[in-house]
Chains A and B, each alone.
Chain A
Amino acid sequence: MALINIDLKDTEMKKIFIVFGLLLISGNVHAALNIFACEPEWAALAQEIGGEKVSIYAATNALQDPHHIEARPSLIARARRAQLVVCTGAELEIGWLPVVLRESGNADVASGKPGNFEAAKYITMQEVPTHLDRADGDVHAAGNPHIQLDAPDYPAIARALSERLSELDTANSPYYQARLQTFTQKWQAALLRWQQQAAPLKGNSIVVQHKAFPYLTSWLGLIEVASLEPKPGVEPSASHLSQVLATLQQHPARMVIRAAYQNPKPSEWIAERAHIPAVVLPFSVGGTEGAKDLFGLFDDTVARLLAGLK
């Protein structure tokens, strides 16, 4: 009797172990990798590569100025459980992210850890200042941080992100690699399409509200003749706008462009007086109706620029 009893206990124990084992495995299978994306473009890219294996929280939306975000309690709470933080870097988020990460008590996503991904590290930065002086306005040491309109560099960022996801979630590495391949192929085809569509833009002069478009202008061959902000990050003043207007009489531009989150007034002031269209660009995913994902972002950007030419 005693022996039988022990046997019974053994099988029960085994059952319990199996059930626990299954629970653990299924727990792992269903636990998506938690991603905290600083800007909507990186949330969209993480979605392209991570698919259903990731759960993404976008910390900001396209109608917010990414320089000016508060370290809100909600952001700190979301960063606490993040396994990967995907941001632009290059000091774009310097006014809020350091506090969010520090207060989150999450050592895995601290700057420099594998759980901290900065897209700006994987592209060639533009407008890198030769000297740093605050008299020049809001200038970032690493270069212009508005890299999200740098369409040709997305495959490089996507590859680095896919590698990072694979490193953090080894079990799903083949999945991320496969999605990277699909994304890259689709992107290369889309790049050709955008470049063909945007061909008429080449060589045209534009005015920008904030120095936020160097990657877009260099990609599409647009020429930036003036900026409505006297210095990066400094509000357009009446006297500076008058100067810009004078410049435009010498070097006419075809349109004045601004990001969806920017105050329309300075652009509209110039547009009215210089008799050029004011063009609003989505600037990131969600900035306009058409910019539903990364492909939509560039479809809509190119379409809006072309409409500005007419």
Chain B
Amino acid sequence: MFLQQLVNGISVGGIYALIATGYALIYSLLGFSNWAHGEVAMFGAYMALTLVTRTNSPFLGALVFGILGAGLLSIFNEKVAYKRIRDHGSPTMFLMIAAMGISTTYQNGAMLAFGPKFQMFPSMFETSTIQLGSISIGILDVISLLTTIVALVVLDLLINKSKMGLGIRTVASNSYTASLMGINIDRYFALVFLLAGMLAGSAGVLLGLKYSVYPTMGNVSLKAFIASVLGGLGSVRGAIVGALIIGILETMVSGYLSSGLRDLVTFGLLIVILLVKPSGLMGVTIEDKA
């Protein structure tokens, strides 16, 4: 029973991690929490759903389509809104307010475009389960878990091993100095939005498959946001750890206590952890230099 819950928790936490890493990536470069990130995931889910219902595309095609759609929307947000706000030299607070506005816009736009109803993907996989000792895992969960692992490993390699990742880390550590060194920082900002958007898109498709697709499904990103705060704002690995903690905690509370208490425990834990570690589990304390 416990192991079963643990596996479910990791599976849910993995999907949170796909979104949470996006929060961390964008925060590390721009210093603000992109509240519109959940809606990017929602958009990816709708893209995939549309493709599947129209063309009977297989899972992989739908996944790629959703990922691309979400990535493009994420860049669109950056180019149309965030970049302009930065160019005005406005405080980062304005970026967050804009993100809130974008989130509201997309949520209600989706409501008008697709209707408020919950839509299911047509069944793509056998509903059979894999038996591993005492644990049984649905095929869908296996695929979801594999997709998550592949995406996160690729992301980690990309950031920590590739030349592009070095550029991202450079811009993150000090975008102003990086721009003085001749690095085209806007390109890296766009790149990070693309990466974050693609990750969110994959999360959206997986969530849509597991549950359903609906206009406010982006609110799930709240959990991912909490995960990224828990892990420490701007820390990608912290976000993954935070997401797994939250995923596991949620399934455990639902399984052993009551699903009504799930959110209460999550938020309670969040506040307690922040009081003990004000900059999250893996965050860096920034001292304001006078």
A in complex with B:
no
- A residues contacting B by CB (< 8 A) are none
